[in-house]
């Protein structure tokens, strides 16, 4: 058995790993590279023959894990995609949105078309958490990763040996979803490392910071602009803001959700209460009239009209790293206003517009113009849907078998630090793979 690392190596996007097991070829994820410096890789030929891949196992619907699956079908893949039921539902809206974005980038050729997406969805089979599926003598089990709706960790069992792919691991005691459930045993482990060198603030601290940032901004007479991932982060924010109003922690506020994708994703979330935690189920069954004033912004014209709103509104839009989407226009019209507040609630990869803003750049290129940054910038790390170092170590501590660990999905300096922490606590053998590196697993 051997594994090749095709993405998410010393970086946080482009998740894709190829397993060759006794003549069976399995891809774990097949996602976009989203950093500017690596985006060209999305247009390169695959480093393998798609016609020889038997299965794709998809950990979750975020585009850095899923968005190149239609390209696989375009280039001859004839196998099956396997994922959880709720991930399949999210995948449909995510892939069509990704194609729409590609078509709007007129200087680039779209990587696939609608027919490729429909084919990908047609050949996607679903597997519930903790059920076992036999793939040509290889037993597949998916475990709840608690990251976004339907997210999974993957265990493959071959001749009594287990290889585990963590996927993106979520937080403990986080809104809506259940806590992550690690597999009990692994001989080899491919582990995400996004926050492997730092600790998040508690959720309650982060909620307090969020509400305080909103109150401060409204007192200054400005708008709050929140770049947020359409799937996962947006639903968490809406849940938290709504609950905060019900609890009397903040007055009912106008929240504009300027993301058709996020609206569709919210509907998918509401259709899958079977994966909610007890608290979220209780909230759903016990609604109160007092809540946020939520406005879904559907058309481009409706989005443009938000430019006329100068104060006392919260505008949530994508993309989460400010690399495109409607958030660019809201930043353009608000970031130069010192009374406004820009609240970052998610990871910002190197080279992205969001990262440049939180790193303190005084001017940002938006819509072809250099725009001064005068708004107050808030960075609230406790809303991350990724486990922090402590939560990753807790997740790892459950796994028996003294696994050999491959660290992926993190910036290089973070992975190096995380590796040292793992060696100190567990003394597991750790690797930091380069892209295209191949390892024999014996």
Overall domain count for the chain: 2
Residue recorded with tokens 């969805």: 121
The maximal CA–CA distance of the chain, rounded, in angstroms, is 65
DSSP state, residue 294: E
Q: Are residues 296 and 379 in the same domain?
A: yes
- Classify 329 as helix, strand or coil: helix
Query: What pLDDT shows up at residue 178?
Result: 96
> Are 318 and 436 in the same domain?
no
348 & 369 share domain: yes
**Are 6 and 83 within one domain?**
yes
Whether residues 144 and 216 share a domain: the answer is no
pLDDT score at 101: 82
DSSP designation for 132: E
| CATH code assigned at 312 | 3.40.50.10890
Among residues 80, 116, 86, 125, which one has the least CA distance to residue 98? 116
* The predicted structure's pLDDT at residue 287: 63
> Is 353 found in the same domain as 249?
yes
Taking the mean position of all CA atoms in its chain, how far away is CA 180? 15
Shared domain for 364 and 414, answered yes or no, is no
Helix (H) or strand (E) holding 139: strand 138-144
Using the structure block, give the residue that is written with the tokens 């020889």. 52
Q: What single-letter DSSP state applies at residue 269? A: H
Residue ranges for the chain with pLDDT beneath 70: 106-107, 286-290
CB contact at 8 A, 35 and 11: yes
Place of tokens 């997406």: 117
Q: 234 is in which domain, residue-wise? A: 203-383
23, 49: one domain = yes
Helix axes 389-398, 412-425, angle to 10 degrees: 50
Asked whether residue 278 falls in the same domain as residue 379, the answer is yes
Q: How far apart (Å, rounded) are the C-alpha atoms in residues 331 and 326?
A: 9
Residue 78: closest CA among 58, 57, 45, 50: 50
Query: Which residue among 383, 400, 427 closes a domain?
Result: 383
Residue 137 shares a structural domain with residue 193: yes
CATH of the domain at 6: 3.60.15.10
Q: Is 202 helix (H, G, I), strand (E, B) or coil?
A: coil
3-state helix, strand, coil in the chain (%, to 5): 35, 25, 40
End position of a domain, from candidates 383, 402, 430? 383
DSSP 407-425: EESS-HHHHHHHHHHHHHH
Instruction: Please indicate, yes or no, whether residues 217 and 83 belong to a single structural domain of this protein.
Output: no
- Which DSSP string do the residues of 379-402 spell out, in sequence order? E-GGG-SS-BHHHHHHHHHH-BS-
Burial of 14 per CB tally in 10 Å (0-12, 13-18, 19+): buried
User: Are 94 and 30 contained in the same domain?
Assistant: yes
Which of residues 383, 398, 424 is at a domain's end? 383
Question: For residue 100, what pLDDT is reported?
Answer: 87
């Amino acid at each position: 058995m051997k594994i090749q690392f095709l993405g998410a190596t010393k970086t946080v996007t482009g998740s894709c790993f190829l397993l060759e097991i006794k003549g069976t070829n399995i891809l774990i994820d097949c996602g976009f590279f989203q950093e500017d410096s690596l985006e060209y890789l999305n247009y390169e030929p695959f480093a393998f023959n798609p016609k020889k891949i038997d299965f794709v196992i998809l950990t979750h619907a975020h585009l850095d894990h899923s968005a190149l699956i239609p390209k696989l079908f375009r280039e001859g893949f004839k196998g099956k995609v396997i994922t959880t039921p709720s991930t399949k539902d999210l995948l449909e809206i995510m892939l069509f949105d990704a194609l729409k974005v590609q078509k709007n980038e007129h200087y680039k050729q779209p990587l696939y078309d609608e027919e490729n997406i429909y084919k990908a969805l047609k050949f996607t089979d679903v597997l519930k958490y903790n059920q076992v599926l036999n793939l040509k003598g290889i037993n597949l089990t998916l475990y709840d990763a608690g990251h976004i709706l339907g997210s999974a960790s993957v265990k493959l069992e071959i001749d009594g040996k287990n290889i585990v792919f963590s996927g993106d691991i979520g937080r403990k005691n986080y809104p809506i979803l259940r806590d992550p459930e690690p597999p009990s045993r692994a001989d080899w482990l491919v582990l995400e490392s996004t926050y492997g060198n730092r600790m998040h603030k508690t959720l309650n601290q982060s909620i307090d910071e969020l509400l305080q940032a909103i109150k401060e901004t409204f007192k200054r007479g400005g708008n709050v602009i929140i770049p947020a991932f359409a799937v996962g982060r947006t639903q968490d924010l809406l849940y938290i803001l709504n609950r905060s109003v019900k609890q009397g922690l903040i007055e009912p506020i106008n929240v504009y959700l300027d993301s058709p994708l996020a609206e569709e994703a919210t509907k998918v979330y509401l259709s899958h209460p079977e994966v909610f935690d007890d608290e979220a189920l209780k909230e759903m069954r016990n609604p109160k009239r007092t809540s946020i004033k939520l406005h879904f912004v559907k058309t481009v014209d409706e989005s443009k009209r938000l430019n006329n709103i100068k104060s006392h509104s919260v505008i949530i839009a994508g993309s989460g790293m400010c690399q495109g989407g409607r958030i660019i226009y809201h930043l353009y019209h608000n970031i130069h206003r010192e009374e406004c507040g820009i609240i970052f609630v998610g990871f910002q990869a190197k080279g992205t517009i969001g990262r440049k803003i939180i790193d303190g750049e005084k001017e940002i290129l938006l819509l072809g113009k250099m725009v001064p940054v005068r708004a107050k910038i808030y960075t609230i790390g406790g809303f991350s849907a990724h486990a922090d170092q402590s939560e990753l170590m807790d997740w790892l501590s459950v796994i028996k078998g003294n696994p050999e660990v491959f660290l992926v999905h993190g910036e290089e300096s973070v992975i190096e630090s995380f590796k040292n922490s793992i060696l100190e606590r567990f003394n597991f053998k750790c690797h930091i793979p380069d892209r295209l590196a191949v390892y024999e697993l014996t």
